[in-house]
Chains A and B, each alone.
Chain A
Amino acid sequence: MKSKTSDVLKANKAAGNGSLIGYFPAGYPTLEGSIEASIAMCQNGVDVLELGVPYSDPVMDGIVIQEATLEALGNGFKLKQTFDAVRAITEAVDTPVLVMTYWNPVLQYGIENFARDLVAAGGAGLITPDLIPDEAKEWLEISDKYALDRVFLGTPSSSPERMKTASELSRGFVYAVSTMGITGARAEVDANARKVVAKVREVSTEANTAVGIGISTADQVVEVNTYSDGAIVGSAFVRAYAEGGVEALKSKTIELSARLKK
């Protein structure tokens, strides 16, 4: 099945370039603010956008993203606005937009309703941090029906069988979790990241892998791209925005992506 996300990652690789996948929460600090910020990221070097859905109980997230998403909820973010944001971003830029969401909001909206509205808004698919393939039967069917990307996680502790399942069932890329932990900047991206990517390569020649969790510097972004198909950055972007607004976010995007393109 075709995947625009995968096409972008593969085209970059073929051209000898790396890829940067950037996270930003919808509704942070407001709906309009998050749209402006996301577009700025896409226009300044982010190859795939990961748009986060604010959620009351984000167990995979560190304090930077927790605070931003709670602020979004406090400012009245509603789930439906996710689609408004996706639509506004995809109308302005060509970058694939993946929605990163904990599972309960999708369940409550209705999995098929969510998929249909995401497609209508121009979204590319979902990254689901607390949905493992074992629990995803309905999502697998619906994401096929709507030709949406679905990104599952592979981690340092995943067994070879689970890694195989994640690689086979993911579309777009496999989210290679670099380290055992939650989101947030780390001084060093674990040697584990290489192992996770290698494990995916062992079981699949097709699957793309992008490495995430803890990446915050240009050096890390470059390094990760030497052995994977992309670097995922979240907290560093959110922090830049929190500290210096959209201008600081632009600078951070340029800084992190500058050395990826020939």
Chain B
Amino acid sequence: MSDIAITRLIFAYVFVWMLYLFMRNRKIQQDKLLLLASFRMTIQLVLAGYVLGIILQVDNPIITISTIFLMEIFAILNIKKIAQQKLSLPILKSVTLSLTTGTLLVLFFFLLVVVNPPSLFDPRYWIPLAGMIIGNAMTGISIGLKTLLDNVESKKDQIQTSLHLGAEPKDAIGDILNKSFEAAILPTLNSMLGMGIIFLPGMMSGQIIAGSSPITAIRYQIGIMLGITGSVSLSIFIFSSTVWRSFFNEKKQFIS
């Protein structure tokens, strides 16, 4: 595979710069965020590149597993940040439980049953797959959480009225939970629909550019897509079956 020269890579920032000018011109908010995001993306990827290099070289199961746990922690912190409001302790607990359980179960299953790497804890497989699985589950939970919080806020009268009409708390918030489940899973389902026709997924493109045969790349892609769907749905399922409790107290009263 031919390397991209650093000087040439700089040209890729032309598009960010164009978008920035456009946003400034139209007075669209978030122009600062765009700069910050591109800057952080660059720094984070450069760092990730070096760190990954080291992890792959060391090839030590303890380091590999610790790295995956670190990724989980960063994902939880990221969900906290995306929420743009202070999350109560029960909500945080539910986020943590659902993200870690949903991703780790699927990751272990996927690596041990589907991929079955030559050496069991080969970081070359674990780290990138963990990245994709955790990243997608994180996005799913973020969307689910945001939809949930927005809807609880805008429908609090209806939740309260359902309680007055004798609903169990879980039923009083049931429609809202279902809606946030849907919102969380939809991007994953949509990307499955368009995959291979409308776009080639990043991992597959990467493998092909790096010289793998498209057929190998596709096998991995189908596998990972199912893994992602599995972890997103499992995480969201655990999330929605635990998070509703945080909106009620032990007397089944609504706390808003």
Chain A partners chain B: no
Measured CB to CB, the residues of A under 8 A from B are: none
